[in-house]
Amino acid sequence: MKKILFYYFLISLLTGTTIYFLQYFSVPLPKFISFYVNDFLIIPIVLFICLQILKWSKNDKSYTLSFPIILYVCFMYSLLFEFIFPKYLARYTTDIIDFLLYFASGFIFYYLQKNKY
């Protein structure tokens, strides 16, 4: 396993979980952290988990996610959380910055998975 990708996953998971719990307990956070950081972190978390399941199921430790698959996941998150859910659920709002963050974190994941660290 590429250690940097694993550490990126762990840091993303811990940071995202911490922000979630702080928000749950109504701890005031800067708006940037409250509104954008978890959107940036969710794609690498989901992709890393998917990658590990695929490596296990295919019994191929060198398996990587292709660029089109990563783009597809980013697109689906954007579609669901920025266009569909805001129409039906008050908890979600449309924000173009979130859309950009999903794709930025997808590109970072792709880059980290391809490098041999």
Q: Does 1 have pLDDT greater than 80?
A: no
- Distance of alpha carbon 66 from its chain centroid, rounded? 16
The backbone torsions φ and ψ at residue 7, rounded to the nearest 5 degrees and listed phi first, read -65, -35
Domain encompassing residue 110: 3-114
Name 114's Cβ contacts closer than 8 Å, sequence gap at least 6.
Answer: 64
Q: How confident is the model at residue 2 (pLDDT cuts 50, 70, 90)?
A: low
How many separate domains does the chain show? 1
pTM for this entry? 0.90
Q: Give the chain's mean pLDDT.
A: 92
pLDDT at 114: 82
Dig out the tokens for 94 from the structure.
């449309």
Write the pLDDT tens digit of every residue in 46-84: 999 999 999 999 999 889 999 999 999 999 999 999 999
